[in-house]
Homo-oligomer: A and B are copies of this chain.
């Protein structure tokens, strides 16, 4: 498989999609809710995912596609060539702010990340990685993340996980917030991952992310030395929703050991 050819295709398709999204602000936005009142989707999310699906199937019909909006395939295994796509990560920001949302794309072969893309559509800023060849911001190579301490860290975390909640011990998170230099919350997992791989944040954690939120980012993480796991410290699973942590490698284990304590999952219950 010619990875460079697939990479050239991906870049062109992502930039085209970005242009379509920027143009969409002059057109009608149809907003629907999904699982909950705050889980939104628009006609643009769907159109852009369909655009990616059509382009990929045209490139090579054997490639499988896992997309947030379900326009791709039913994926039950990571075998073979697989695209993991979030056409608009941060849909609420897209609707309300017209900014601070990302296109996130990962390309995997037999579960191994080969190509990753995080595109800030409104800044027209593309971060990408080719497995083994490094990561880039535009044409600029991204260096490895540098050693640091937890006290110097700026952490991406949503306030939902700071208040008492069913998923994580919020008292340890309180201790974390008192320890670090600062926290941020941007409302787009892909944007927070993009900030971590470029050293603009030092960690980002979430209780509940889907494969399309993290697919592209995990490939870029490998190339800059960012550590990635779920909140138990296990490798991420690209087939299911799970907890998620990406961090500067100096503080990844510190976060897991000292500040993150998942609550017992209820057994035998739905």
Contact = CB atoms under 8 A, between A and B. Distances in A.
Interface in A185-240: 185-187, 195, 199-200
Contacts of A177: 159-160, 162-163
Nearest to A151: B37
B185 A92 contact: no
Nearest to A164: B174
A183 interface: yes
Stoichiometry, as copies per complex, reads 2
A200 B159 contact: no
A182 interface: yes
A182 B38 contact: yes
A158 B156 CA distance: 11
Contacts of A187: 154, 182, 184
Given A97-B195, A97-B200, A92 B182 contact: yes
Category for how many chain A residues contact B: 20 to 34
A157 interface: yes
A92 B159 contact: no
Contacts of A200: 96-99
A158 B159 CA distance: 8
A182 B94 CA distance: 14
A181 interface: yes
A263 interface: no
Contacts of A184: 185-187
Contact of A158 (B158, B183, B199): B183
B178 A96 contact: no
Nearest to A154: B96
30 contacts: A38-B182, A92-B154, A92-B181, A92-B182, A96-B199, A96-B200, A97-B200, A98-B200, A99-B200, A123-B123, A158-B182, A159-B159, A159-B162, A159-B177, A159-B183, A160-B177, A160-B183, A162-B162, A162-B163, A162-B177, A163-B173, A163-B177, A163-B178, A164-B174, A182-B187, A183-B185, A184-B186, A184-B187, A185-B185, A186-B186
Given A159-B162, A182-B187, 13 more contacts: A92-B154, A92-B182, A96-B199, A98-B200, A157-B159, A158-B182, A158-B183, A159-B183, A163-B174, A163-B177, A183-B185, A184-B186, A185-B185
Ranked nearest first, the 10 interchain pairs of A and B with the lowest CB-CB distance are A97-B200, A163-B174, A185-B185, A159-B183, A162-B162, A159-B177, A159-B162, A38-B181, A184-B185, A163-B177
